[in-house]
Amino acid sequence: MEQEILNSYSILNSLNVSRETFFDFEIFISMIKEKNKEINIISQETSKKEVIRERHIIDSAQIIDFIDLNSNSTTDLGTGGGMPGIIIAIILKNMKKNMKVNLYEKSHHKSAFLREVSRKLKLKTEIFQENIFDQKKLETGTIMSRAFKPMPVVLDLVCENFTSYKNLIFFMGKNGKKVFENSLNDWDLEYIEKKSLTNEDSFLLNIKKIKKKIKKN
């Protein structure tokens, strides 16, 4: 059974993720499945264990090499059921990194679930049951955006609400290329693009610098 679990995460081996991390992932999956009977932590379509593992856990974990590990915190803009924030917090715990993961989630029920997971897995998180658009002068290291808001909205949010950050990570889906190209019409971005490990039509963006273009009349 133990080897079976390790094999199921073999795609992450190149990212130097520890075996203890994989077992914490499995506990988290069990908690999602149990809580999903009461509330929609994730959609019912993706609630099978194998699907959760690939589409949510592994998909979230693949950004760990984009996280600025020298910062005091990292921030998940709209974490939902904890992806990617809880996943990154699990990896950081097992890396022995003393970094706090800020999780923004407006839903009372989901926020309560995130606190329950954090207690059980002894994660260094802070859950904000708030609308991040109402928060100003935010400071953090890496900012994560997965299935949150359209790219232009997130870029505006980061520029207007964060006074300090290191980088911004986007998870881009099958229509991501077009969305990204359209965004480049309005923004100057310094970025690195990386192919997704979980979906051949998806990719990741690690954006280091953001500057809105001044439109000429």
Please list the rounded mean pLDDT of every run of 10 residues in the chain (217 residues): 89 90 96 92 80 94 97 96 98 96 96 98 97 96 96 96 98 93 95 95 96 79
DSSP 91-160: HHHHTT---EEEEE---HHHHHHHHHHHHHHT--EEEE-S-GGG--SEE-SEEEESSSS-HHHHHHHHHH
Name the region of 30 (left: φ>0; alpha: ψ -120 to 50; beta: rest). alpha
What is the predicted pLDDT for the residue at 30? 95
Cis peptide upstream of residue 84 (ω within 30 degrees of 0): yes
Of 110, 210, 107, the residue nearest 157 (C-alpha): 210
Q: Cα–Cα distances in Å, from 45 out to 21, 49, 52, 123?
A: 25, 11, 10, 28
The answer to whether 41 and 32 are in contact (CB under 8 A) is yes
Name the region of 5 (left: φ>0; alpha: ψ -120 to 50; beta: rest). alpha
Domains and CATH numbers, the chain: 63-212 (3.40.50.150)
What is the predicted pLDDT for the residue at 217? 58
| Total length of the chain | 217
Name the region of 147 (left: φ>0; alpha: ψ -120 to 50; beta: rest). left
Return all residues near 163 (Cβ < 8 A) that are at least 6 apart. Answer: 137, 138, 139
What is the predicted pLDDT for the residue at 167? 98
Q: Are strands 73-76 and 142-145 parallel, antiparallel or unpaired?
A: parallel
What is the predicted pLDDT for the residue at 10? 92
Look up residue 119 and give its amino acid.
Answer: R
pTM above 0.75, yes or no: yes
